[in-house]
């Protein structure tokens, strides 16, 4: 029924089945036929990556200055949206030029580079605040004066509205897209996978290797085996065509 009637994808069915298994086995303490039900084969899709030019268009199209600094922070640090939302003033270390990301996925802290361009933008943002925050770098409410951080929904909205204004609304851009762009563009610029793994806070290097599939640099330097063959008549066929 999940496939035929509700038209769920295999990955969604796997999540529903896992939840049902947990409920029946660990909550109801029943080991029925559900425990024997096989999981559907997982579908693997490569995430979409935007070019550096498109990322620049996205940031330039931010609806408000506050949205602009949020988008810049997401792309410059590769932070998850919850990590970016909960950055503190003390996490910006301009002496060492690093950003401390605390309590990330798996409750792990990590440091990422502080872009000079981001630092300058943060200083402009700071000077424009009505009340200088003492704790959260991006305080909540419309005047940015709350004692709690901005919600992750604000970062999502910032991406969606900027994508619409930049004419990229059909590209499915969201905060995690900027994290993927951060990693892929670093790889294309020559950074090694181990460094990217540390910057992203991945527990396993295997999680990071997906960016090899997304990097244009790695695809362009890898020749097709067809190019090494000498095939008779290829030049004649090309000329006649």
Active site residues: 80, 105, 176, 179, 202, 211
How far, in Å, CA of 219 to CA of 50, rounded?
16
Q: Could you tell me which residues are beta bridge partners of residue 139?
A: 149
Other C-beta atoms closer than 10 Å to the C-beta of 57 total: 17
Q: Is the separation of the CB atoms in 39 and 17 below 8 Å?
A: yes
């Amino acid at each position: 029924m999940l496939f035929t009637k509700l038209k769920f994808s295999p990955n969604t069915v796997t999540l529903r089945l896992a939840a049902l298994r947990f409920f029946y086995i660990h909550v109801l303490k029943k080991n029925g036929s559900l425990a024997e039900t096989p999981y559907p084969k997982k579908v693997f899709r490569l995430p979409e990556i935007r070019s550096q030019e498109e990322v620049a268009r996205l940031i330039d199209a931010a609806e408000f200055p506050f949205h602009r600094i949020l988008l810049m922070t997401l792309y410059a640090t590769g932070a998850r949206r919850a990590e970016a939302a909960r950055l503190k003033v003390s996490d910006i270390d301009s002496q060492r030029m690093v950003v401390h990301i605390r309590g990330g996925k798996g409750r792990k802290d990590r440091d990422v580079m502080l872009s000079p361009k981001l630092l300058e933008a943060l200083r402009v943002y700071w000077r424009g605040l009505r009340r200088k925050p003492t704790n959260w770098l991006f305080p909540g409410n419309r005047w940015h004066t709350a004692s709690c951080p901005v919600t992750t929904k604000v970062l999502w909205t910032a991406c969606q509205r900027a994508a619409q204004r930049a004419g990229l609304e059909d590209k499915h851009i969201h905060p995690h897209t900027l994290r993927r762009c951060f990693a892929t563009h670093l790889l294309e610029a020559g950074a090694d996978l181990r460094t990217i793994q540390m910057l992203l806070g991945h527990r396993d290097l295997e999680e990071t290797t997906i960016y090899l599939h997304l990097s244009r640099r790695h695809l362009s330097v890898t020749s097709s085996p067809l190019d090494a063959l000498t095939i008779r008549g290829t030049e004649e066929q090309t000329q006649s065509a």
